[in-house]
Structure 1
Amino acid sequence: MTTLRLEWPQWQGGEPQAVAHYTPGLDVAESRTVYGLGGQLTAALAPRHDGPTVRVAVPDYSHDLPEIDGIVGKDEVLRQHAEALSLIREADADRILTLGGTCAVSLTPFGYLAERYADDLVVIWLDSHADCNLPGGPNRGFNTMVVSHLSGRGDNDVLESMPATLPSSRVLLAGVHAWDDQDSHTHESWGLRLIPPADTEPFVDAVLGWIRDSGVRHVAVHFDLDVIDSDELAFGMAWEKGGISKATALRTIAAIAEAFDLVGLTVAEFVPREAVALRSILHGLPLAGSERSAE
């Protein structure tokens, strides 16, 4: 079984106004690219991987990210999606560890796994947010629309680019408790099951029970770090109180891997505000940059 490590420090999936709101004190370029630096640090801190490792090319900050069809940076999001899918197919991966980046980085590997395992795959969306917005809604960042597109709803260009989608009945929203103006009204009508935050034992039991009831063996887990209660660890873009504990998150993923075949795992949305500020300081120091020849 081939386990591919996909490093994808994407920042383009974030919505500019939302990102700026949650990162006071950072300038536009710093706030827009904070997801990217978070992805780089996530990959740097992850344990050594003995299998194949690939990295999606992510451009540096650019103002030229127009909103198209209600999605900020749609063209660049689709370009990265196509590159990631090509890398995954070339590796012929059976399992995929994805290190992001915005939540948008789960779309490609999970779509590939949905094609590979067909009806024998469920997705656990371990996140404070449902990410089931639609293009043109209040938040135009694609990172808030991933579950929508995974379940076959949204932008036609994105949907046509996907290897496969899943029915809502095979997507579980686990730990979701923070809603925006759109996705709070959609998850129930779409048939998405929700398990709210709880203590470790009942939460893990509920997640495992849902998977068992599905009759499916293969599982992909999206782990947005903001699902951890921000009073314990403020990792995410929006600091959300009332989430699950770090121990609960780790135990949930471990229990899934013990009981089923964990074929996909994404770690997403580490937002290192202090590291971004440090990078800005370092870039402003003499002797810290590239040397120039003396005249």
Structure 2
Amino acid sequence: MKNLRVIFPMWQGGNQVEYKQGAEFLALIAPETGENTETVTVPVHEPSADSKVEDGITGRGALEAELSAAQSIITEHAPDTLCVLGGDCLVDLVPFAWLSEKYQDGFGILWLDTHPDVMTPAQYPNAHAHVLGALTGNGDPMLTCRVKKIVPESKVMIAGIHSPNAYEHGYLEKSEINLVSPEEMMTGTQPLTEWIKNEKITHLAIHFDLDILDPNNFYSLNFNNPEKTDKDFEGIAQGKLKLDDVIKWIAVASEQSNVVGVGITEYLPWDAIRLKEALSKIPLLTA
């Protein structure tokens, strides 16, 4: 089996420049890979002071170029499995679309996230909140055109979700997407095992957005941005789980199905990011 590790420091999907550095730090701390793994980096646009909304999507032109670059790289390597180190959540669009086309009806997605990411430009301009909707065939054509084999909603489980906004609630209520609350995740993995069995999922991709974690227990999250206050996050659901809770679910998922894709996203190690910036201002540490 040929595994491809993709370092994808995309940041404009979340319109937050620190996502780029988060992906770069993830690449540094991730375990070493085996001999069957190749590592590639998707080039992204350098952060700028102004990220404009273009036809409803923040940074549309840059995102389109970066998604195309990822598509070209993955197509060239033609991997059997993919591990993605992001960046904002949009990094998983092209890799998961590749796996859906490769594994067809046996493919499913476990979306470990506090948020469902099923909005469109009509509700919200930042495309990291559009990615799961696009994988299931709903959203802006710039995103959905990259999904040749749409993932049926019944083969998607969002675990860790709570307090969706009005649009998300209405969308999910009408969909066949399986939902598991943080409290249900804490009590056991039965919903996961039953879903994999009932949907006959033989090959699974796992999206792990770190904001599923409780910001009072895991600190490298957007909600702990030292430059913002609680008012900046009013109305936005925050994670409730501990890291061990999520790892347990991933372990059980790997026992019940072949895990062929993993995406780790939205890591924001604030102290490291601030220290890196400070070091760039110290004599003898820069060119």
Give your verdict on TM over 0.5. yes
Matched with 1:149 is 134
1: CA distance between counterparts of 2:75 and 2:118? 27
Alpha carbons of structure 1 residues 271 and 162: separation in structure 2 relative to 1, 3 Å: same
Q: Residue 279 of structure 1 aligns to which amino acid in structure 2? A: K
Q: Which of 223, 226, 245 matches 2:208?
A: 223
2: CA distance between counterparts of 1:203 and 1:37? 34
Q: Which of 246, 249, 254 matches 2:251?
A: 254
Matched with 1:211 is 196
Q: Which of 36, 39, 49 matches 1:53?
A: 39
1: CA distance between counterparts of 2:261 and 2:199? 17
Assess if the C-alpha contact under 8 Å between 1:195 and 1:206 holds in 2. Answer: yes
How far does residue 64 in structure 1 lie from its aligned partner after superposition? 5.2
Alpha carbons of structure 1 residues 181 and 284: separation in structure 2 relative to 1, 3 Å: farther
Matched with 1:84 is 70
1: CA distance between counterparts of 2:195 and 2:150? 20
Q: Which of 191, 197, 208 matches 2:182?
A: 197
Assess if the C-alpha contact under 8 Å between 2:94 and 2:146 holds in 1. Answer: no
Assess if the C-alpha contact under 8 Å between 1:200 and 1:251 holds in 2. Answer: no
Aligned CA-pair RMSD: 1.7
> Deviations along 1:102-134, whole A, 9 cap, x unmatched?
000110100001111111101010011111111
Matched with 1:36 is 20
1: CA distance between counterparts of 2:177 and 2:258? 22
Residue pairs, 1:7-46, within 5 angstroms: 7-15=7-15, 32-46=16-30
Report the number of matched residues.
273
How far does residue 181 in structure 1 lie from its aligned partner after superposition? 4.8
Assess if the C-alpha contact under 8 Å between 2:114 and 2:238 holds in 1. Answer: no
Matched with 2:229 is none
2: CA distance between counterparts of 1:144 and 1:277? 26
Matched position secondary structure for 1:44? helix
Instruction: Confirm or deny that 1:98 pairs with 2:95.
Output: no
How far does residue 7 in structure 1 lie from its aligned partner after superposition? 0.7
Matched position secondary structure for 2:182? coil
Assess if the C-alpha contact under 8 Å between 2:211 and 2:239 holds in 1. Answer: no
Q: Which runs of 5+ in 1 are unaligned?
A: 16-31, 291-295
Matched with 2:149 is 164
How far does residue 246 in structure 1 lie from its aligned partner after superposition? 1.1
1: CA distance between counterparts of 2:20 and 2:143? 22
Matched position secondary structure for 1:140? coil
Assess if the C-alpha contact under 8 Å between 1:108 and 1:162 holds in 2. Answer: yes
2: CA distance between counterparts of 1:151 and 1:62? 32
Matched with 1:182 is 167
> Deviations along 1:163-191, whole A, 9 cap, x unmatched?
33212111111111143453233112122
Instruction: Confirm or deny that 1:127 pairs with 2:113.
Output: yes
The TM-score with structure 2 as length reference comes to 0.89
How far does residue 200 in structure 1 lie from its aligned partner after superposition? 5.6
Instruction: Confirm or deny that 1:140 pairs with 2:140.
Output: no
Q: Residue 193 of structure 2 aligns to which amino acid in structure 1? A: L
